[in-house]
Amino acid sequence: MLKYISVANSLKEYIEHSNLKQGDRLPNVLTLAEDYNTSKTTIVKALEILKADGLIYQVQGSGNYARLPKRTGYINFQSNLGFTTNLHEENLSSQSVSVTSIAADTELAEQLQCAVGTPIYHVERTRTMDGKILCLENSFFNANLIKYLNQEIAEGSIFKYLTDVLDISIGFSDKFFKVRELTDYEAGKLALTAGQPTLDAHEVFFTNDGIPFDYSSNVYHFENADFYLQTQQK
């Protein structure tokens, strides 16, 4: 791991576990460089990551300040790392998980930039937290890139498997969403009634090299899923 990313991770832990309030000033760059036994350049690069993650904002000529939105129970809608990193992993689980092998149809081929007929893993599962249903998820993985997937893996965090086992660097994603009424099938999966509202989000995930590997559709339970999103300082 690059030094400044390791320092950024330490700084994140420090901010999250300290008693900093919104707008509290962080120690200056020189102090941080001494604390972390590293160069000022490394600290500056680490702070850029914290800014991009919405943990701090920078006031020119003044310093770095904490951003701490209330997050408890809210889903970070901006995260490209799945639920697991921003909700309490221990309370998150998957139900009625199925993993099937299919061939890409025209839509999947377009979304995943692959040929029609490419082998695809289709995962359908409901995600729950503390026994509450959050969403019905349908994910499609290009099996030429994600060469192995099974039900046991899909019962846990697929993204953790992709990064830790398959060594895939998740880069970024494009998400499209709207609000609509639930279909009969979705309502059944979410323990709701057809016609009740839902947030319907489609997302394509890319590797760090710009290759799409996962096309996902999440249909959220409107009473159980609240979201937050931070815009970043430029």
Enumerate binding residues for a second copy (CB under 8 A). 23, 49, 52, 54, 57, 59-60, 62, 65, 67, 69-70, 74, 77-80, 113, 171-181, 196-199, 206, 208-210, 220, 222, 225-234
Q: How far apart are CA 6 and CA 128, in angstroms?
A: 31
CB-based contact 205:80 (threshold 8 Å): yes
CA atoms within 13 A on the CB side of 10: 16
The nearer residue to a second copy, 126 or 224, going by C-beta atoms, is: 224
CB of 48 to a second copy, least distance (A): 9
Spatial contact of 92 and 127, defined as CB atoms under 8 Å apart: yes
Both tokens of 141, joined, read 């993985």
CB closer to a second copy out of 99 and 158:
158
What three-state secondary structure class fits 204?
Answer: strand
Shortest Å distance, C-beta 163 to a second copy? 13
Residue 90 or 178: the one with the smaller Cβ distance to a second copy is 178
Say which DSSP state 46 is in.
H
Closest distance between a second copy and the C-beta of residue 168, in Å?
Answer: 14
Nearer to a second copy, 155 or 203 (CB): 203
The least CB distance from residue 38 to a second copy, in Å, is: 19
Helix axis angle for 3-17 and 40-52, nearest 10°, is: 60
Query: What are the residues whose beta carbons fall under 8 Å from the beta carbon of 70, sequence distance 6 or more?
Result: 228
The minimum distance between CB 78 and a second copy, in angstroms, equals 6
Q: Which is nearer to a second copy, 138 or 196 (CB)?
A: 196
CB under 8 Å to 49, separation ≥6 — which residues? 4, 5, 8
| CA-based nearest residue to 67, from 234, 218, 232, 198 | 232
Between 4 and 140, name the residue whose CB sits nearer to a second copy.
4
Q: Minimum Å distance from CB 100 to a second copy? A: 27
CA angle 150, 198, 130 (to 5 degrees): 55
